[in-house]
Amino acid sequence: MSRAFVKEADEELAAFRDDSSHSKKALEYLKLQEKKLDFLLNDPKGMKIEPQKREKWIKEVREAIDAARVEMGKPGEK
């Protein structure tokens, strides 16, 4: 097989691995943010956080979740 084909296959494989790794990290980040949101909304300890700070964090986490979903190509999904 020509070295050009081998090199192209290696580059495609490397790009696929990078994409796969990025997708895995993005999914882990999304799950972490969803867990944070659940804590802030439902956990008794989360409810004890000072209300203004809690509302700010809820807003930030929801924005992070939306951004992660858009990046993953799944906007609006729950």
DSSP state of 49: S
Answer yes or no: is 29 within a domain: yes
Cβ-count burial 34-64 (b if 16+ within 10 Å, e if not)? eebbeebeeeeebeebeeeeeeebbeebeeb
Answer yes or no: is 77 within a domain: no
Find where tokens 């992660």 sit.
68
Q: Is the pTM of this model over 0.75?
A: no
The domain tally of the chain equals 1
Compute the half-sphere exposure of residue 29: CA atoms within 13 Å on the CB side of its CA.
18
Calpha distance 71→73 (Å, rounded):
5
pLDDT digits (tens, 9 = 90+) for 20-62: 777 888 889 999 999 999 999 999 999 999 999 999 999 999 9
Answer yes or no: is 78 within a domain: no
Answer yes or no: is 10 within a domain: yes
Domain that holds residue 26: 3-71
